[in-house]
């Protein structure tokens, strides 16, 4: 029997108009957008549907917007009776995965990630931090470089272990620049990322401390299906561990390659990316070409996916 994992994207997958068609055509999707607006006290849905892109790209908007769009897609998919054996999400997407697994209510999650975005934005002044993607380098070699640079007083570390040969580094602007030049000397290609802060680095610890207080105020339940945690790449169901992981997650690497390998080892062969874009589907294929990936972001991709899943 084939097993299914639901995957949820993180920052960078957002686009103006995401899930708008589903909200127009399906009441269960529309309800999610209305819930987000009510819980946050402003019209997040108009930022999502109308933009402008500059507003949607602000971290404190991007995070709740992606969670809302993904959960709206999920609501329509669930109505069709499609269930997951496991869930996982990339960074912010972990909150969407926890909503899908019944560990967080959508209303609590959308409030939490709005705060998460604000805290991450506040943690480091603009221009002080940076992130870059390093292509074509082994993890151990890159970690040696980041340790060397950090010992010289400029903090930098691996932040996203996305797939073989694609690792994101994060830290101070100087630390990232120094690590990038050493990586290039070792034959790697380096692409600076357009982000507003050094996410998943030790510079985010102030945000993690504030996030812990927010998580104290919301109900986190045991997950109904196991969620693969970013920080450990292992399945988690227990509420207390989920909470602990969400705090650590802000300043720890996203172990995505290991997450995909863990899901494959658990018997998953079908990965359904729920929400805008196809970033995670691409990463899954780079980790294991044999995996079946399905990306659902609108009505056409929803119909195609249901036909494929129900036809099996």
Which residues are known to be catalytic?
91, 200
Cα gap 7→88, rounded to integer Å: 5
Angle, helices 205-216 vs 106-123, to 10°: value is 150
Q: What is the largest CA-CA distance in the chain?
A: 58
Beta strands in the chain (DSSP E): 3-8, 86-89, 129-135, 156-163, 166-172, 189-192, 227-228, 235-236, 268-274, 292-296
Q: Distance between CA 168 and CA 197 in Å, rounded?
A: 13
| DSSP assignment letter at 218 | S
2 conformational bin, left if phi > 0, alpha if psi -120 to 50, beta if neither: beta
Please answer whether residues 89 and 7 qualify as being in contact, where contact means their C-beta atoms are separated by less than 8 angstroms: yes
CA distance 129 to 174: 8
Sign of the four-CA dihedral 282, 287, 292, 293: negative
* Alpha helices (H) along 80-201: 93-100, 106-123, 139-151, 173-185
Task: Please name the residues in contact with 144: beta carbons below 8 A apart, sequence gap of 6 or more.
Answer: none
- As beta bridge partners, residue 86 has 5
* C-beta neighbour count of 209 within 10 angstroms: 14
- Tokens standing for 89? 């999400």
């Amino acid at each position: 029997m084939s097993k299914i994992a639901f995957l949820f994207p993180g920052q960078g997958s957002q686009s103006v108009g995401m899930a708008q068609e589903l909200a127009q055509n399906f009441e269960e999707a529309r309800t999610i957008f209305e819930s987000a607006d009510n819980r946050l006290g402003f019209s997040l849905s108009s930022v999502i549907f109308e933009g402008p892109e500059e507003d949607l790209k602000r971290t404190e908007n991007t995070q709740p917007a992606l969670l809302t769009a993904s959960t709206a897609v999920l609501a329509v998919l669930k109505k069709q009776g499609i269930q997951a054996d496991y869930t996982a999400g990339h960074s912010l997407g972990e909150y969407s995965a926890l909503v899908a697994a019944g560990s967080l209510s959508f209303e609590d999650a959308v409030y939490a990630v709005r705060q998460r975005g604000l805290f991450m934005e506040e943690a480091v002044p603009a221009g002080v931090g940076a992130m870059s993607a390093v292509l074509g380098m082994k993890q151990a070699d890159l970690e040696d470089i980041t340790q060397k640079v950090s010992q010289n007083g400029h903090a930098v570390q691996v932040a996203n272990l996305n797939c073989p040969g694609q690792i994101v580094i994060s830290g101070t602007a100087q630390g990232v620049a120094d690590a990038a030049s050493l990586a290039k000397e070792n034959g790697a290609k380096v692409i600076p990322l357009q982000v507003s802060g050094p996410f998943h680095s030790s510079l985010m610890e102030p945000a993690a401390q504030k996030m812990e207080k927010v998580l104290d105020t919301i109900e986190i339940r045991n997950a109904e299906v196991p969620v693969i945690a970013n920080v450990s790449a292992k399945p988690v169901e227990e509420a207390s561990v989920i909470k602990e992981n969400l705090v650590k997650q802000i300043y720890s690497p996203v172990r995505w390659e290991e997450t995909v390998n863990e899901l494959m080892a658990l018997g998953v062969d079908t990965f359904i990316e729920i929400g805008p874009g196809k970033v995670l589907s691409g990463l899954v294929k780079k980790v294991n070409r044999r995996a079946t990936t399905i990306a659902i972001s609108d009505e056409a991709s929803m119909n195609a996916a249901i036909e494929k899943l129900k036809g099996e």
